[in-house]
Amino acid sequence: MLEAKNLHKSFGSHHVLKGVSLEVKPGEIQVLIGLNGSGKTTLQRILTGILEPDEGKVSIGGKDVTSSLPEDRLLGYVPQNTGLFRHLTVRDNILYSLKNGRGSEESFREAVELLDLESYLDWRPTQLSGGYKSRVALARALASSPRAMLLDEPISEVDRAKKEYVLPLFRQILLQLHIPVLYITHDPWEAGEIGTSYSIMRNGVVEGIASPEEAFSVIRQQARDSGE
């Protein structure tokens, strides 16, 4: 279980997270939806340990990790811009966490095979399409044998036709892992394709919601109210 309790975060006088609590169970793909600037990435960065909360608690598998370093949390993270190292080949990007003592040769092989990356191992990220960059970013996160997975708009660069192909693959892989998955997207259709549960970030808190349609009608209203 991935758990956050009462997280607060401000940047200067801007109070972004105002008591965020959430729970993601193993085998659950929770999709988090919210307007631009609502704090989704900030929340994920706190869960990974890249950012420190001002207040609140993060736990993984029942263990409090609030003060743990990112590398000790054993999470897989696909950041908003894929976060691939441009100067490294696809192989070395995927092997990155192995060099830092996580994952194994076997988890590397498995990730490469699952995402069909064998013929791209010597390429560099700049030579790849958006869809393949996302695959490499997911493979890199998978190769670290994570205890939970955080994905921040991992296929936002991919066009709709390709998403139709990539999403079932990603969903199948993520479900097979049977770990907690928190997946951020703006796209209602994508949310429905990948998620097993849904939540929205608004007014600095996260609320569970029954369907992506419900989340989007709330958000549409909020965007209208704020004049966007």
Ligand X SMILES: Nc1ncnc2c1ncn2[C@@H]1O[C@H](COP(=O)(O)OP(=O)(O)OP(=O)(O)O)[C@@H](O)[C@H]1O
Instruction: Report the interface residues with Mg ion, using CB under 5 A.
Output: 40-41
DSSP 3-state helix, strand, coil percentages of the chain (rounded to 5)? 40, 25, 35
Question: Residue from 6, 10, 21, 41 that binds ligand X (CB under 6 A)?
Answer: 41
* Nearer to ligand X (CB atom), residue 59 or residue 80: 80
Query: Which one of ligand X, Mg ion, none is in contact with 133 (Cβ closer than 5 to 8 A by kind)?
Result: none
Beta carbons of 48 and 150 less than 8 angstroms apart: yes
Letters for 42-81 (x = contact with ligand X by CB under 6 A, - = none) are x-------------------------------------x-
Beta carbons of 17 and 8 less than 8 angstroms apart: yes
Taking the alpha carbons of 63, 66, 72, 77 in that order, is the dihedral positive or negative?
positive
Q: Which helix (H) or strand (E) holds 196?
A: none
* Nearer to ligand X (CB atom), residue 57 or residue 186: 186
Our finding on whether 168 is near ligand X (CB under 6 A) is no
Q: What span, in angstroms and rounded, lies between the C-alpha atoms of 114 and 142?
A: 10
Q: How far is the CB of 41 from Mg ion (least distance, A)?
A: 3
Query: Which one of Mg ion, ligand X, none is in contact with 93 (Cβ closer than 5 to 8 A by kind)?
Result: none
Angle, helix 130-143 to helix 105-114, in steps of 10 degrees: 150
1-40 positions binding ligand X, by CB under 6 A: 11, 16, 34, 36-40
Q: Catalog residues that contact ligand X under the rule CB under 6 A.
A: 11, 16, 34, 36-42, 80
